Structure 1
Amino acid sequence: MSREDLARAQAALVAALVAGAAPPPGFDPTGVRAAAAALLRKRAGEVAGAWPVLAASFGSRWTVTFGRWAATRPTRGSLRDGWDLARQLRAGGALSLAGLEELAVREVRWRYRPGGEARRRRLPAVRRLRGVTVVQVLGRVRVRRARPARGRS
């Protein structure tokens, strides 16, 4: 086998393991699927470590929810994977209030360039969502929650 053939086979195996591609010829499909599932569980755990509130909002459904989302997406790192999932859930209205707050804190602290790495924000940033305002000024993040209205007697 030439180096080019080996490189193609390795790339096909990696795509099958982390991006949902079909197993390459010569590999046991059952074994490749089992390894891919194990890698997705590991990846879900790493993203849960970087996004604990997001993961906790799904409880025991986290691994399955993340696995469905990530099955055809190669990893971009735990921070970015969680960011992308949270933004997609927010767009679909499926992100909990606690998850929205965690995302808002990340968005005022960091920014992503398309296809690039995360960079700390230098300018002030504000995110408002249901009853919560998140502000970042000079690298400090403040979260202000609206006080619940008190009933009059």
Structure 2
Amino acid sequence: MNAQEQLDALRADGAAVSTRTSAPLWYLVAQSLCIAGFVFSFSLDNWQSLGFVIAAVAMVLLGMLRPAITGTRAEPWVYRRSLTIGAAQLGFVVALVVLGPLLVSLADSAVLFGALLVVAFGGSLALGIAMERALARSIAEGE
């Protein structure tokens, strides 16, 4: 086997591994629900800390279970491509946490609050899927 064939085999192995390292859709949905719950907790007045704790514990548990779910120790926060998307997701969540409750309290609207939760869930899910794809691409390309 010459060097080119070995490199081709290595690329094929990277592509096969990259598909197995991505978290399944149900995991990303659960993660997005945790993020939406986290955003929701900042609007709970007296129950704010309980909502925050439940969302945070669920998110940490999901993170701890990731290696068992994917069967690998591959972590999206290690690769620059997926880290960039993760940073955007963090900024998205911070903006929702800061601006969301303020807008909802000013408008005093349940519809606006529901829309905020849908945006939190949908945006987190879209960014989570993009982050997993970036992770798979980084592994496949050997970054």
Q: TM-score, normalised by structure 2?
A: 0.32
Q: TM-score, normalised by structure 1?
A: 0.30
Higher-Rg member (1/2): 1
Identify, as 1 or 2, the structure richer in helix.
2
Identify, as 1 or 2, the structure richer in strand.
1
Q: RCO (CA 8 Å, sep 6+): is it higher in 1 or 2?
A: 2
